[in-house]
A = this chain, B = another copy of it.
Amino acid sequence: MTSTVTALRTLDIRFPTSRELDGSDAMNPDPDYSAAYVIVETDAPDGLSGHGFVFTIGRGNEVAVAAIDALRPMLVGHDADALLEDLGATSRALIGDSQLRWLGPEKGVMHMAIAAVLNALWDLRAKRAGMPLWQLLSRMTPEELVALVDFRYLSDALTPEEALQLLRAAEPGRAERERQLLERGYPAYTTTPGWLGYSDDKLERLAKEAVADGFGQIKLKVGACLEDDIRRMKIARAAVGADVRIAIDANQRWDVDEAVEWVRALTPSDPYWIEEPTSPDDVLGHARIRRGVSPVKVATGEHAQNRVIFKQLLQAGSIDVLQLDAARVAGVNENLAILLLAAKFGVPVCPHAGGVGLCEMVQHLSMFDFVALTGTTQDRVIEYVDHLHGEFVDPAVVSDGHYVAPTAPGFSSQLRDDVLRDYEYPAGPVWRAIAEEDAR
């Protein structure tokens, strides 16, 4: 009995978040958090489906939907078991289509669409296996894991043999770390207090709440106005005390020299890392900024387009902290490559999250990393934003400053059916109501 992919359903899902200034930063003043959503269906009697998406911030979500639609012929009608059994080959086939590749290559909308589809396939595979994705990955052999990775363009930094060695070295203790993870969870930090659109009072109140909630690190958005940033940073430092780390995030706002000056001006309030100081494409610029702002650490990655940029960020010594994103690079497979690169170079991974479903997905990657690759959570934290979780079937849960390890089968990437219905853009009831209100 084999099963066949019967449908690749796509949906344009948008949440009207811009009305609350949640998610506002120096580059993104009014995001409507959105998902170009895909459901992979098969004719298997288990009735399971795989869910994935591109996270966007509103306009253009329909372009990402069109990009996912372009991948449909590579899946529908194909043997689902074969696609799921060798997700390394499936990943290479999706990335390797020569005509679609021209639209990147391996970057931007087309690459994010491949991420959505691959993540949906991983969701389905984990559901079939009856395990959360982190556990499924953590129980694979080093050989199986290496076969998932596309090493093209990586061999000057990481070979399959080196990857195997890293994974084999972490085999002892997997079971014990899985136990620890299920018991303690994985450390989180929170961005909730620090959005640019919030008042000083709201910042102070939320920063104090974060400490009370057990977080050892918070994050502030900066980069619009230096004077404001100095004031807000002082408020935050006074609120959390000396021992809680405060990361700052400029969302690509600066040129290289400007970044160095701005961060130095904030250094008296002891920022832990500066995130996205400049263009995510600027490997050499980040290296120069890192030299200029030390001991403040440099972090980036949420907009790094693929493993080739991450390779270079590591080779050039551009970053202290690597912030992978679950849905910008080509899904679980490319993120395995990135985790292996980070492990090779000894740089901690602190994933980007927030948005729609990013907390839900990245937790699986970090938990795999802990159980089966680096074996540590030292200086590693997963971003957490307390927003848009109840919309998921298996929402991320943070307790006492830690992500609780998910136990439900899958990638935690499935939105509830009623949410898929209510927030479809522009025809869903939420958007029809907004249109009617705006028309009044």
Give A residues with C-beta under 8 Å from B. Answer: 27-32, 56-60, 62-64, 66-67, 70, 97-112, 152-156, 252, 255-258, 278-285, 288, 303, 305-306, 308-309, 311-312, 315-316
Given A31-B99, A56-B102, A60-B100; 17 other pairs, CB 8 A cutoff? A27-B98, A28-B102, A29-B98, A56-B99, A62-B70, A63-B70, A103-B108, A107-B108, A108-B305, A153-B256, A155-B255, A155-B256, A155-B257, A156-B285, A281-B305, A281-B306, A281-B308
Q: In whole angstroms, what is the CA distance A153 to B252 when docked?
A: 9
Do residues A63 and B66 form an inter-chain contact, with CB atoms below 8 A?
yes
| Interface class of chain A by DSSP | loop
Which B residues are in CB contact (< 8 Å) with A284? 283, 312, 315-316
Shortest distance between the CB of A120 and any CB in chain B (Å) = 18
Contact B63 A280 (CB under 8 A): no
Closest chain B CB from A201 CB (angstroms)? 26
- Contacting residue for A154 out of B28, B59, B255, B306, CB 8 A: B255
Cα–Cα distance between A315 and B285 once the two chains are bound (Å): 10
Are the CB atoms of A280 and B108 closer together than 8 Å?
Answer: no
CA distance A135 to B339 in the complex (A): 51
Contacts of A59 in B (CB 8 A): 70, 97, 99-100
Tell me the smallest distance from the CB of A174 to a CB of chain B, in Å.
Answer: 31
Q: How far is the CA of A28 from the CA of B101 in the complex (A)?
A: 9
State A56–B103 Cα separation when bound (angstroms).
7
Q: Is the CB of A107 within 8 A of B110?
A: no
A303 to B311, CA, bound (A): 19
What is the bound-complex CA distance between A368 and B105, given in angstroms?
29
- Shortest CB distance A58–B (Å): 4
Beyond A255-B152, A305-B107, A308-B281, whether A62 also contacts B56 by CB under 8 A is no
A154, closest chain B residue (CB): B255
B63 pairs with A67, CB closer than 8 A? yes
> How far is A363 from B28 in the complex, measured between Cα atoms in Å?
37
Instruction: Kindly report how many copies of this chain are found in the complex they form together.
Output: 2
A63 touches B63 (CB 8 A): yes
Q: How far is the CB of A131 from chain B (nearest CB, A)?
A: 32
A62 touches B66 (CB 8 A): yes
Q: How far is the CA of A127 from the CA of B32 in the complex (A)?
A: 39
Tell me whether A102 and B156 are in contact (CB under 8 A): no
Q: A253 → chain B, closest Cβ, in Å?
A: 9
Q: List 19 A-B contacts (CB under 8 A).
A: A28-B98, A28-B102, A29-B98, A57-B98, A58-B99, A63-B70, A63-B110, A66-B66, A105-B252, A105-B280, A106-B279, A107-B281, A108-B111, A152-B279, A153-B279, A153-B285, A155-B255, A155-B256, A281-B305
A306 to B154, CA, bound (A): 22
Is the beta-carbon distance between B28 and A60 smaller than 8 angstroms? Answer: no
Cβ contact within 8 Å between A67 and B281:
no
**In the complex the two chains form, is B70's CB within 8 Å of A255's CB?**
no
Residues of B within 8 A of A282 (CB): 153, 308, 311-312
When chains A and B are docked, how far (Å) is the Cα of A403 from the Cα of B257? 42
Closest chain B residue to A109 by CB distance?
B109
Which one of B32, B63, B252, B257 contacts A109 once the chains associate, using CB atoms below 8 Å?
Answer: B63
Chain B residues lying within 8 Å of A316, measured Cβ to Cβ, are 284
Please measure, in the bound complex, the distance between the C-alpha atom of A316 and the C-alpha atom of B98, giving whole angstroms: 29
- Return the chain B residue nearest A305 by Cβ: B107
Per the bound structure, the CA–CA distance linking A288 and B315 in Å amounts to 12
Residues of B within 8 A of A30 (CB): 98-99
Cα separation A303 to B66 with both chains bound (whole Å):
22
- Which interface residue of A27, A28, A32, A284 has the most chain B CB atoms within 10 A? A284
Give the Cβ gap from A15 to chain B, nearest Cβ, in Å: 13
